[in-house]
Chains A and B, each alone.
Chain A
Amino acid sequence: MTGPAEHLLSVRGLRLRVGDETHDVVRGASLHAARGEVVGIAGESGSGKSLTLRAIAGLLPTGVAVAGGDIEVDRVDVVRAGPQVLRRLRGHTVGMVFQEPMTALNPTMRIGRQIAEAAMARGDLSRSQARTRAVELLERVGFPEPARRYRQFPHQLSGGMRQRVVIAIALAGNPSLLLCDEPTTALDATVTLKILDLLADLVRDLGIGIVFVTHDLGVAARICDRIAVMYAGQVVEEGPTEQLLRRPRHPYTLALLRAVPTRDRDIDGLRAIPGNPPQRGEELPGCAFAPRCEYAEPECRSEVEFVPIGAGRSTACRRHPLLAAMAGGTS
């Protein structure tokens, strides 16, 4: 087990609130990430996965505030940090990659210059050093002939190459943590695969940690060492990727897995999840998934606790022993 000292990122009991509403949109999310590790946050729209990621970077949208809990990134207390500390955090410690590369890039500026500017934001490089660094970064993210490509504009690139530029910008400040929000969702499958390979290489070669938000469990399966599944603003299950996907210990994870169409299963094996996710502001005593859960008992409506269940796994389901029994008791 990794001790707390080795944690690059530690989120404990995070609660996020919109405006002066009386309920929280993220209702107690906990997760941690170490260097050299890819941690996925998987969930459907409205689960709170992207807001959780933004909170880690101190980049919550206007009107959303931390209502409780702690976020620590590389020993920086993000929740209580002032604007200067946060700016330094984003320049040095944390890099961000978003879904839409075209909106993250300046369409009128050559890509090399955009990377060089990000490298200079750190404050310790001259203009020519930043230029050299930008060329190195272009090569690092997979551009052949980086010195020539430096002069290209975003519109001259394909979606996958644009996303590589965004990754280069995110790496420019030498971060130890890369936060990725659905970085491959807008890309074709063959391109997705190459971007995932690039991210895996960066983790291996640079020893950075990645938090990877996705709605796609297949993508998470491909890149993540561990996955945290979110539902209605809470992490409901967390554990090593293979165990979590093969032997889930939360009925929501199981229901999601049975709802994903796969090539080796025909439609008779597909199960929709009955009912709808809770509305924003709905009272949610106990487990938020209980009303849709085939394993729920009356007690599930009143109490829920996110607890470790061994082998590096945690679940918020009271009935996890039943799911363990379905897996033949193996972890």
Chain B
Amino acid sequence: MTEPLLDVRDLVVTFASGRGWGGDRGRIHAVRGVDFSVRPGEAFALVGESGSGKSTTAKCVVGLQKPTRGSITFAGAPLDPARDHGQRRAIQMIFQDPYSSLNPRMTIGAALIEILRVHRLAAGREAAERRAAELLDLVGMPRSALDQRPRAFSGGQRQRLGIARALAVEPSLLVADEPVSALDVSIQASVLLLLKQLQRELGLTMLFISHDLAVVRQLCDRVAVMADGLIVEEGTVGQVLTEPSADFTRTLLAAATDLPPLDLDLEHRQPKQRSTP
């Protein structure tokens, strides 16, 4: 078995719930002891409803949230809250809301070039510009986007740009927090297809956060189902979707609003006029 790229052990995150007008000052146990590991090249999903702790877990992995307890090991080394430059670069994140994850005042080109230069990934301005253009090719955006600001783009295009931004520093782990749930159906499909293509072409390792089992089915190899800060079930996506072992997974599956199967012959083409007697 290969060494895991990411290994999370006994992760606990507790928040002080603040002083409400009601007066009681409790603690919220957002994550209550979570263990999982992600192997290189694998797409691993954390699935759950709101308040299950899936996003808090992801934030701990990226370093946006300090764990109360537990350990996170990345590529064999412990990930402390104070991360070194290389560790920060190695784990990148794409967010649910593509509108707020891009700097509105910078052109796309300027933003990408800044990232490349800060991380010393391009020798000189020209090389950085070349690499920025390649990144746009990679996510299926026209190179003319380099001179435009985020507001010029639709939600799906902004999500592509967010992916380009994350990939600019050549991360070894991409954390995606509900990357398609704010997008329209037709746009959602194109972003899912892009992520799949990147997985296949770059061998990207992904930690995917979602509430939607159907979306997880499209992209992920393994899945952990979370409820109330705990993982209630873990397995391959096929296993969990078809033979769930936890009651909560069964509830989640029963609540999924599925479409009836299409009853159309999509290969059917209108017969050529001359060929029909």
Q: Mark B91-124, 1 if CB is under 8 A from A, else 0.
A: 0000000000000000000000000000000000
CB of B259 within 8 Å of the partner chain: yes
Q: Mark B239-277, 1 if CB is under 8 A from A, else 0.
A: 001000000000111111111111111101010000000
CB of B186 within 8 Å of the partner chain: yes
CB of B190 within 8 Å of the partner chain: yes
Is there an interface contact between B255 and A45, defined as CB atoms closer than 8 Å?
no
Nearest-Cβ distance from residue A250 to partner chain B, whole angstroms: 12
CB of B189 within 8 Å of the partner chain: yes
CB of B215 within 8 Å of the partner chain: yes
Is there an interface contact between A328 and B265, defined as CB atoms closer than 8 Å?
yes
Nearest-Cβ distance from residue A153 to partner chain B, whole angstroms: 10
Q: Mark A207-240, 1 if CB is under 8 A from B, else 0.
A: 0000000011111011000000000000000000
CB of A125 within 8 Å of the partner chain: no
Question: Of B187, B188, B257, which contacts A221 at CB under 8 A?
Answer: B257
Is there an interface contact between A44 and B265, defined as CB atoms closer than 8 Å?
no
Which B residues lie within 8 Å of A258 (CB)?
189, 262
Question: Of B154, B215, B260, which contacts A261 at CB under 8 A?
Answer: B215
Is there an interface contact between A190 and B252, defined as CB atoms closer than 8 Å?
yes
Q: Mark B132-155, 1 if CB is under 8 A from A, else 0.
A: 000000000000000000000010
CA distance A96 to B255 in the complex (A): 25
Closest to B190 in A: A272
CA distance A328 to B212 in the complex (A): 33
Q: Mark A28-50, 1 if CB is under 8 A from B, else 0.
A: 00000000000000001100000
Nearest-Cβ distance from residue A224 to partner chain B, whole angstroms: 11
Is there an interface contact between A261 and B214, defined as CB atoms closer than 8 Å?
yes
CB of A128 within 8 Å of the partner chain: no
CB of B217 within 8 Å of the partner chain: yes
Is there an interface contact between B257 and A261, defined as CB atoms closer than 8 Å?
no
CB of B3 within 8 Å of the partner chain: no
Q: Mark A255-277, 1 if CB is under 8 A from B, else 0.
A: 11111111111110011110010
Question: Of B49, B218, B263, B268, which contacts A247 at CB under 8 A?
Answer: B263
CB of B126 within 8 Å of the partner chain: no
Which B residues lie within 8 Å of A322 (CB)?
270
CB of B213 within 8 Å of the partner chain: yes
Nearest-Cβ distance from residue B70 to partner chain A, whole angstroms: 26
Is there an interface contact between A242 and B260, defined as CB atoms closer than 8 Å?
yes
Which A residues lie within 8 Å of B265 (CB)?
326-328
Closest to A330 in B: B263
Question: Of B154, B189, B261, B270, which contacts A270 at CB under 8 A?
Answer: B189
Is there an interface contact between B257 and A222, defined as CB atoms closer than 8 Å?
yes
Is there an interface contact between A245 and B260, defined as CB atoms closer than 8 Å?
yes
CB of A254 within 8 Å of the partner chain: yes
Question: Of A254, A257, A263, A327, which contacts B256 at CB under 8 A?
Answer: A263
CA distance A260 to B263 in the complex (A): 15
Nearest-Cβ distance from residue A243 to partner chain B, whole angstroms: 9
Q: A218-B256, A255-B186 are in contact. Are A263 and B217 (CB under 8 A)?
A: yes
Q: Mark A172-200, 1 if CB is under 8 A from B, else 0.
A: 00000000000000001110110000000
Is there an interface contact between A189 and B256, defined as CB atoms closer than 8 Å?
yes
Q: A188-B49, A221-B257, A261-B215 are in contact. Are A272 and B186 (CB under 8 A)?
A: yes
CB of B196 within 8 Å of the partner chain: yes
Nearest-Cβ distance from residue B162 to partner chain A, whole angstroms: 18
Is there an interface contact between B184 and A44, defined as CB atoms closer than 8 Å?
yes
CB of A248 within 8 Å of the partner chain: yes
Nearest-Cβ distance from residue A160 to partner chain B, whole angstroms: 11
CB of A65 within 8 Å of the partner chain: no
CA distance A266 to B263 in the complex (A): 18
CB of B65 within 8 Å of the partner chain: no
Is there an interface contact between A262 and B188, defined as CB atoms closer than 8 Å?
no
Which B residues lie within 8 Å of A102 (CB)?
none
Question: Of A256, A261, A263, which contacts B192 at CB under 8 A?
Answer: A261
CB of B166 within 8 Å of the partner chain: no
Is there an interface contact between B218 and A259, defined as CB atoms closer than 8 Å?
no
CB of A5 within 8 Å of the partner chain: no
CB of A323 within 8 Å of the partner chain: yes
Nearest-Cβ distance from residue B108 to partner chain A, whole angstroms: 18
CB of B1 within 8 Å of the partner chain: no
Find residues 164-202 in chain B having any chain A CB closer than 8 Å to their own CB.
184-190, 192-193, 196
Which A residues lie within 8 Å of B189 (CB)?
258-261, 270-273
Nearest-Cβ distance from residue B213 to partner chain A, whole angstroms: 6
Q: A260-B259, A270-B189 are in contact. Are A215 and B266 (CB under 8 A)?
A: no
Is there an interface contact between A261 and B184, defined as CB atoms closer than 8 Å?
no
Task: Give the interface of A toward B (CB within 8 A).
Answer: 44-45, 159, 188-190, 192-193, 215-219, 221-222, 242, 245-248, 254-267, 270-273, 276, 322-323, 325-328
Which 5 A/B pairs are nearest by Cβ-Cβ distance?
Answer: A218-B257, A272-B190, A273-B186, A259-B189, A188-B49
- What are 21 A-B pairs at a CB distance below 8 A? A189-B255, A189-B256, A193-B254, A219-B257, A221-B260, A245-B262, A246-B264, A247-B263, A257-B262, A262-B258, A262-B259, A263-B253, A265-B217, A266-B217, A267-B196, A270-B192, A270-B218, A272-B186, A325-B268, A325-B270, A327-B265
Other A-B pairs beyond A242-B260, A245-B259, A272-B186, 9, CB < 8 Å: A44-B185, A188-B211, A215-B185, A219-B257, A221-B257, A246-B263, A247-B263, A264-B258, A326-B264
